Structure 1
Amino acid sequence: MNRLVVVFGIIWCLCSTVAVAQVAPDCSNAVPICNNTPVNGGTNGYGADDFKGANKSGCLEKTLSGAIESNAAWYRFRTGASGQLGFNIGFDSNEDWDFALYKASDCNSLGDPVRCNFFDNRDANSFIGVGMDPQGATDNVQYEEWLEVLPGEDYYLLVNNFSNVNSGFSIQFTGQIFVTNPYDALDCAIINNLLGPPITACNNESIVLDATTADVVSYTWYKDVGNGYTQIPGEVSATLNVLEAAFYRVEVITQSQNNIISDVQVGFSQAPITSPVGDEHLCLDAEYFYLSDKDQMALGGQSANEVIISYHTSLTDAEAGINALPLEYGLQAGQQQIYIRATSVQNPRCYDASEDFTLTVHQPLTPSFPLEVFLCEGEPSAVIGETAPDPEYNYLWSTGETTSNITVSQGGEYSLSITDKLGVSACENDFMITVYASNTPHIKEVVIEDLQDNNTITIIPDREGDFEYRLDNGAYQADAKFYNVLPGRHTVTLNDLNGCGTATETIVVVGFPKFFTPNGDGVNDIWNIVGMSSLDEPILTVYNRYGKLLKQLSPNSMGWDGTYNGVAQPSDDYWFKLSFKDQDGQRIVAKYINNHFSLKR
């Protein structure tokens, strides 16, 4: 695995308020950890090679030191309950740290690690560990899966500084096991001391040391704040109320002369204070809100290196420090309360979850009015916009008008901005309404293809537009072409879908041969049309190319035989007209008929 070696000259001591923490570079004298042991330390070399020259241990590989360890710190702990267990190792984001966790009770039989991480820190993370990044980062590859533990399991933890800079680190244990068993999740029996293991407390907590022992003659208490132990005047009882960080010693004199001297380190960490943050109003179309944008306000001047800010959906989760929300928080419409937890990096038991804020996500308005309006021929004006205004909103048009709707008399684009009167909506509810000045439609042409067996007609509008078409009293259709039209008189209708009127034409569909051969052979000697019988008093007239009337045919005529006054007409093209009476008794000429045919001899 490729590594990024980072070397920086930075001193970042996480243990300044807890005095000097224990560091063990070798597994054999690993520092025991129990529930309230402060774990703040650094590394300086690796002592003996605990892997006896091996090239690998799980994910760990040899470092520049020639061994798997380069700057190592070993810890051990024993589980006191069952459940989900994890830990966060915090450090300077400029450095590169690794870890391996072994489930073992003997340094000589470590086996393979049950959790291991050897990724470089090119992403400049501040935490590695098991479980979940306390800052809510879901893409931190330096985190391994939670552990499921049972009571009485022994573990060894190796923390290794790959970048060879001793800036210090902290370890905070996490997981559901500390919710169900806050006082015995880790077994303190591995530390044999009358006053117990070192104690790290918050500055707002009361700490009482208890040296109660049977067969006691006297108790004498001492304190060392850096200049050696000195007796605490007046403190002669079995318990001592601790008010400041120091090393404490009790001397217990017993009647049996089995006198006891016990020392304990007590440190106080500054409890964070969460500053109030403002509520947020967002628009759903933003999709995400970056919760980290609230960090600086919540910190209120506290250092981000000393206090972790996390966000939760309930006060219970915030107080327990579980189920932190991802920093890239997906938005949902409505109102949600977000609870903030400020946690001390040095001592995660010190926290403040007193602040929260309301996240209100607004949905963009859906217009209940058309965004395209047609101003039809003959209409002087049209009303655009919201006809049923909401009293909670203000309206502003590009024309400067402030009503919910306006009257326009010409085509163009008109913008409408709708804003919340309370000023809380974060959505930009701007709408563009286009007004089209549209003429009443007309039928330019009806193309009639009279094939006798399968007549078709196609309606041609005078312009492009959104139209539908109808033949006689049938249903409207989107296609302008009609098939299998019977011969005779028909009505065709063109309708503007945008409400700008209709156009209707009366047409006649007839069938006729495109040529005839009056040569007396009995085949195709007579020319006539099919479909006149459905018309009222139809008259068919035949003309030559010069417009001379050659023949007038009635519905009962046999047809034209190609002669005029008994004289055979030459091979040529001829034309005809068909007229009939309409419903008002007026004689009209049938339009759109392709009235051209040929005589061949």
Structure 2
Amino acid sequence: MGTTDGGGDIDDFDPEVITQTGCLEKGSVSSANIENNTGWFVFRAGTDGQIGFDIEALPVNPGGPITAEWDFALYGPFDETSNDNFCTIIGDGSAQPIRCNYEYNDTGFTGIGVNPVDGREGAPFVKSSQNTYDEWLNVTAGEIYYLYINNYNTNFDDEPEDFILTFTGSSVDADQNSALDCTLRDQFLGFDIVACEGDPDITLSALNSPAGSNITSVEWSVDYEDDGIIDATLPGTGSFGAELVVSSPNSGRYYVEIENNFGQVYPDHILITFYGTPELDEVRVIDDLVNSDQTDPYNIEIVPVGDGNYEYAINGGEFQDDPLFYDVPPGINTVVINDKNGCGITDPIEFLVVGYPKFFTPNSDGVHDNWNVYGVEELVNPVVYIFDRYGKLLKQIDVNIGWDGTFNGRDMPSSDYWFRLDYERDDEGVLVATSVRRHFSLVR
């Protein structure tokens, strides 16, 4: 049995930002929004197979007419090990529903699978099809789904209406006890929570346990490092201390034990992780003229401060989850770190890769007019010599200026040229003479 009672925090779908999610849209009325007079459900697949559901409209008065018109959107599948904040990625519009329906017909049923009234099979949503059912959901055990149910007809008032939500499908037909992962009923503190430092306090409630309100004692404790060692016993608030307020940035695994009048004990725990704005610890240059004998390509690793669900981009490129970047250009580069949970993003941060460009174009356009070893000032006693393709020494360049593509005041032709870089490398406290010989191109 479910009810929508006119509630719903419109900030979950900010009506000034999120005007559409799947097939559902913000109405033309100025006060309309996607989420109002709605209900949310979460379920986890217990087995591999097929899952569907029926949403059956109920009359306000027994025997009376049905006045509700139910719409739905289904989000997922989500993976608990991903460290994503599912509510955030749904609410900010980055996760779109995989099933969605707002069609109207006169059966009083909507859902996924087969309409039990007229036998009409679900299909991919098509506007004005008057098919209120979407196609079956093929699930994998452990997947998590979020179901949003909205009563369109009473979207603008506070009149509650009831419905029945029934799960269906071959998995349910095979075994009703295993089709859904019913450990959710015992995990009354809910899923693990990912939040940002500075977010509002989080209130945990023991009142959702199987003991209900029949409580004689509640004990809260916390393992801040999540290493299996309890660090403190915490005072709860409210009747019997049944609630616990967790404030940023107190990450940890929080435990509760509830005892009822019959001496039965109900335990649960939840991991709460607060992430701060990402910070850069260092850019570890793996391969360049300073850090290895490899002179091409140049490779780096981005090292953030602390753990987080981060993604990385260099030089304005696409974000990637892997902190390793290969074939990085020599010279000054930039890196940006983004927290995928929405906890912030860094400004572009510069880092240096010591190396040389493979070509230059001395045409006085202000771009690549001089050739040099980028970051040469980071080397010890560097000297750079330029040779033509036949091995003739053309110039020992000023490492602070570079080579402008001339010899004795004359422009050299487009061709391949060689250079030799001599410098001293610090090898465990001993300066070792090092020489690099490579070629590059002059292009006119």
Larger radius of gyration: 1
TM-score by length of 1: 0.26
TM-score by length of 2: 0.35
